[in-house]
Structure 1
Amino acid sequence: MIFDPSPIELPSSYEKVETTGHVFVSHYPPGTPAVTPVVIVTLNRPAKHNAFTPQMVRDFEKLFPMFDVDERVKVVVLTGAGKTFCAGADLEIGFGVGKDRTADHRDGGGRVALAIHRCRKPTIVAMQGSAVGVGMTMTLPAIIRIGYEKGKYGFVFGRRGIVLESCSSYFLPRLVGHSNASYLVSTGGVFPPTSKHFGDLFNEILPDASQVLPRALELATEIAENVSPASSYLNRALMWRDTGSAEAAHLIESRVINHMFGSEDQKEGVAAFFEKRKPNFKANLDDNPPPSVPWWTEIDTGRSPKAKGPSKL
Structure 2
Amino acid sequence: MPSVNPPNTSNQLLVSFPSEHVLLLTLNRPKQLNAMTPQLTEDLRKVLNWFEEEPSLWVVIVTGAGRVFCAGADLKAWNNDQQQGVVTEQEGVATNPYGFGSISRRQSRKPFIAAVAGGAYGGGLEMVLNCDYVIASEDAKFALPEVKRGVIAIQGGIPRLSQIAGHQLASELLLLGKTISADEAHRRFGFVNQVVPGSDSVLRAAAAVAEQMNLNSPDAVQATKRALVLAQEFGHSEMLTNHVWGPESKRTYRGENIKEGLRAFAEKRTPRWTSPAKL
Pairwise TM-score range, normalised by the shorter structure: 0.7 to 0.9
- Inter-partner Cα distance in structure 1 for 2:58 and 2:89: 37
**RMSD, matched Cα:** 2.7
Deviations for 1:234-253, whole angstroms, at most 9, x for unmatched residues? 21222222364333344445
Q: Which runs of 5+ in 2 are unaligned?
A: none
Secondary structure at the aligned position of 1:234 is classed as helix
Is the 8 Å Cα contact of residues 124 and 145 (structure 1) preserved in structure 2? Answer: yes
**Residue aligning to 2:165:** 176
2:238 corresponds to 1:248: yes
What one-letter code is carried by the residue in structure 1 that aligns with 2:22? V
In the alignment, which of 75, 86, 106 is matched to residue 93 of structure 2?
106
Deviations 1:49-87 (A, max 9, x none): 112211111111110011000011111111111121112
Q: After superposition, where does 1:38-57 map in structure 2 within 5 Å?
A: 38-57=22-41
2:17 maps to amino acid: H
1:66-215 alignment, distance < 5 Å: 66-94=50-78, 96-97=81-82, 98-100=85-87, 104-106=91-93, 110-114=99-103, 117-195=106-184, 198-215=188-205
So what's the TM-score if we normalise by structure 2?
0.85
3-state secondary structure, aligned to 2:270: coil
Distance of aligned partners of 1:232 and 1:85 in 2 relative to their CA distance in 1, 3 Å threshold: same
User: Are the structure 2 counterparts of residues 259 and 105 from structure 1 closer, same or farther at C-alpha, using a change threshold of 3 Å?
Assistant: closer
Structure number with higher helix proportion: 2
Check whether the contact 1:67–1:119 (CA below 8 A) recurs between aligned residues: no
After superposition, the Cα gap between the structure-2 partners of 1:102 and 1:25, relative to the gap in structure 1 and judged at 3 Å, is closer
AA at the equivalent of 1:180? L
Selected match of 2:258 from 258, 266, 276 = 266
Q: Which 4+ residue blocks in structure 1 deviate beyond 6 angstroms?
A: none
Identity %: 26
Seen in structure 2, the aligned counterparts of structure 1 residues 216 and 116 have a Cα distance that, compared at 3 Å, is: farther
Where does residue 289 of structure 1 map in the other structure? none
Work out whether 1:280 is the aligned partner of 2:264.
Answer: no
Distance 1:250 1:26 in 2: 36
| CA distance in 1: counterparts of 2:113 and 2:89, whole angstroms | 33
Match of 2:11 in 1: 21
CA spacing shift, 1:252–1:214, aligned 2, 3 Å? same
Structure 1's 258 and 99: CA in aligned 2 closer, same or farther, altered over 3 A? closer
Deviation at 1:92? Answer: 2.3
Q: Which residues of structure 1 form unaligned runs of 5+? A: 1-10, 30-35, 287-313
2-structure distance, mates of 1:145, 1:59: 22
CA distance in 2, matches of 1:134, 1:103: 14
Higher relative contact order (CA 8 A, sep 6+): 1
Query: Is the Cα contact below 8 Å between 1:50 and 1:85 reproduced in 2?
Result: yes
Tell me which moved more, 270-279 or 80-89: 270-279
Number of equivalent positions: 268
CA distance in 2, matches of 1:259, 1:26: 28
Measured at CA, do residues 154 and 124 of structure 1 come closer, stay the same or move farther in structure 2, by a change above 3 Å?
same
Secondary structure of the equivalent of 1:28? strand
The aligned amino acid for 1:227 is N
1:164 deviates by 0.9
